[in-house]
Amino acid sequence: MRTPGAILFLWFVSQLPGGCRIMPTELSEEELSSLAALVASKGVDPKKIKTSLLELEPYYRDMGEPPGLFSRMLSATKPQMVIQPLIPRQLSQAVKILYRKKIPFTPRAMGSTGLGGSVPVSGGAVLDLSKMSGIVSVDEHRSEVRVLAGTTFFQLQSAISSFGLELVSRPSNAFGTIGGWAATGGMGLGSLTEGPVCRQIRHMEVVYPDGSLEQIDSSHKTFHDFFQTEGQLGIFASVTLQVAKRTKNPYFLALSVDSLGHAIETIRWLLKLEHGPTEITFLGQADAHPELSAKPGHEIILVMWNNAPNTLEIPAGVETLTDKAAGFLWSKRFFPMDNHLGPIFLASEAMVPLDKVESLTKAARKKAARFNTPLLMHGHAVKSKGQVLMLILFMFPCDPKRGWNHLMLTPLAAILTSLAKRKGASPYGVGIWNTPFAKNVFGARRMKELREKKKAMDPHNLCNPGKFFKVGTKAKMLPLVMARGVYPTMLRVASGLGPLLKGKTGSREERIAVFDRCVWCGACVTTCPAVSVTGSETVSARSKLSLLKAIHQGEVYSKKRLSDALQCLACGQCQEVCARGLDLLDEWKVLEDIAIQELGEDVFKNSICEFSNLVDSKRQKAMDAALP
């Protein structure tokens, strides 16, 4: 290994405080078959229990795509079984079986974060909660809705809008799930006035690591243990959420100022208004938004009121962009990665005190420039414990095909997080890659308390193991580099290697293949009718793009995988919701041409006919069930 690569290797291992070697669970085919039968006997549909390699593949990763070197250091990222419960009782029964047999299990839905929190580090089973979705009940009088934890915010808002209701807060990813968002902190759009999502949850059902199912309310002594802890102490099964009457007259305003300091002054002015805004989003420099025609170097702020203020005197030096520009930015609020840079993004996210935003952003931009990469940002003003903070997401483009580029840029995410920590900020989310900063999220005292609870509730470390408290790794040298002084030293060394990156990354002019620009956010999975019909993620857009990438790279793939990819209605839903704005329908035509060439026209037509018959059968069953 080259010397810089070796240094980065040491850096990565050293950043995992409390790391431990974990031997992944390996079940024989007979044991897997027996386990599947036992889970099915407790009410889980056998078709919702996956063991084939083809159907397990989508669960190997989340939005993050670390270099192969880093991934290979983890114990295992490939589950042997995926279980898709439909209701909380099925989830509870499945967990009881896995706990009793001491098989590690990882709760997951869309896998829409990049920190590895839903990656099965210890193999075992994945509990796919994305099928456990839907509205249980709506109480219009109390403005409450009870919803299963696998429901996405897009699904929930669509369902309650017919009652004249709307969510009071939501994540910037509309296709994230209720349970996933709550488990990672629950901050986002609307959190300036409403705070974290735990303040809006009235009741919730939780499945503990031993499989017991309990309903608790906000007065319960353990209520707050399940927020931000990412499934370590229990899994959200359903929540009863406070909602609000739908806003009739929202008002958007896009502002442009000439400097970072002026941007912070403007945000403070907005916060002091008598009729304050519901949402303040700091979008960074106008250079990242060429469609706005704003002045280069200016900073952009997007503001939203639930109801238009009667009067609003804009301070001198603050430029108001057109209503069209404001509407455009608001329409893109759920698509922060819809940018021509890429092909993928690495990121760092932190909760930053308002008085530190300017200095942190300047320092972050300086670091990114040292690594020769553009830095995008997306910040929401939020309120936590009575204090206004800025939840800032720093993103920078990276190309996994350029191995050296990928390897060298990956430490920048941790460097930016460490920089935020030194500014008094706390990282947002832990997972695998932020484990070194977990104490900064909770504080040493609270972290010790959570660790003791984990040991008491899950003594064998079966529920979402290998992260958060300790990262499971195969690195034999780990104990040698775990000295407290090693980690910051390695971070400084990695930072010093930034200038070794030659050439600007993420050029807008560079032609990037569509399959290389997918960020695995999961939006396509939640809206795809083919996924709904088949119950398999192998037919989703992100899985089909993964197949196109494998074909392009000359990798071996099965005819079954290619045949499954043909199960498509060509409805365009995936293209409509894509976070990157990718032209997907053209890619499906390419895939069809490959299928005809590889499988033959007869097999191609038969596959299409079989899928069409399946769709017709499902539609008929739905109609029969609806009719008296």
pLDDT tens column, 38-78:
999 999 999 999 998 888 888 888 887 776 666 666 656 78
Distance CA 52, CA 58 (A): 11
CATH superfamily of 514-626: Alpha-helical ferredoxin (1.10.1060.10)
Mean pLDDT of 561-579: 84
Could you tell me if 397 and 506 are in contact, meaning their C-beta atoms sit under 8 angstroms apart? yes
Rounded CA separation 385/397 (Å): 34
- Asked if pLDDT for residue 305 goes beyond 50, the answer is yes
What is the tens place of the pLDDT at every residue in 78-98? 899 999 999 999 999 999 999
The CA distances from residue 36 to 15, 33, 194, in Å, are 37, 5, 43
Which CA distances in Å does 483 have to 232, 375, 394, 486, 489? 26, 32, 29, 6, 11
585-615: b or e for each residue (b if 16 or more CB lie within 10 Å)? eebbeebbeebeeebeeebbeebeeebeeeb
The predicted structure's pLDDT at residue 506: 45
pLDDT of residue 5: 47
Give the tokens for residue 46: 């056998």
Instruction: Name the percent of the chain lying above pLDDT 90.
Output: 40
Q: How many CA atoms lie within 13 A of 99 on its CB side?
A: 18
Q: What is the rounded average pLDDT of the residues 612-624?
A: 62
- The domain defined by 133-245 folds into 3.30.465
Helix and strand tally (H, E) in the chain?
23, 21
Both tokens assigned to 524? 């396509």
How far is 76 from 121, CA to CA, in rounded Å?
A: 5
pLDDT band (50, 70, 90) for residue 18: very low
Q: Which residues pair with 21 in a beta bridge?
A: 473
Longest dimension (CA), the chain: 74
CA–CA dist 173, 113 (Å, integer) = 10
Question: What whole-number distance in Å separates Cα of residue 6 and Cα of residue 1?
Answer: 6
| Separation CA 467–CA 191 (nearest Å) | 27
Could you give the C-alpha distances from 426 to 103, 180, 352, in angstroms and in order?
33, 19, 7
Domain covering 251-421 in this structure, CATH number = 3.40.462.10
Domains of the chain: which residue ranges?
Answer: 3-130+432-485, 133-245, 251-421, 514-626
For residue range 502-533, what is the model confidence (pLDDT) as tens digits? 444 544 434 467 888 888 888 888 888 888 88
Distance between CA atoms of 233 and 454, rounded to whole angstroms?
6
pLDDT at residue 468 is higher than 50: yes
Can you tell me the mean pLDDT for 278-288?
85
What's the whole-model pTM score? 0.84
Q: How far apart are CA 435 and CA 115, in angstroms?
A: 9
Amino acid 180: pLDDT: 92
Task: Compute and round to an integer the Cα radius of gyration of the chain.
Answer: 24
pLDDT at 342: 60
- Give the model's confidence band at 620: pLDDT under 50 very low, under 70 low, under 90 confident, else very high: low
Give me the mean pLDDT over the 404-417 stretch.
83
3-130+432-485 topology per CATH: 3.30.43
> 217 has which bridge partners?
203
Residue type, 58: P
99-114 tens-digit pLDDT: 999 999 999 988 878 8
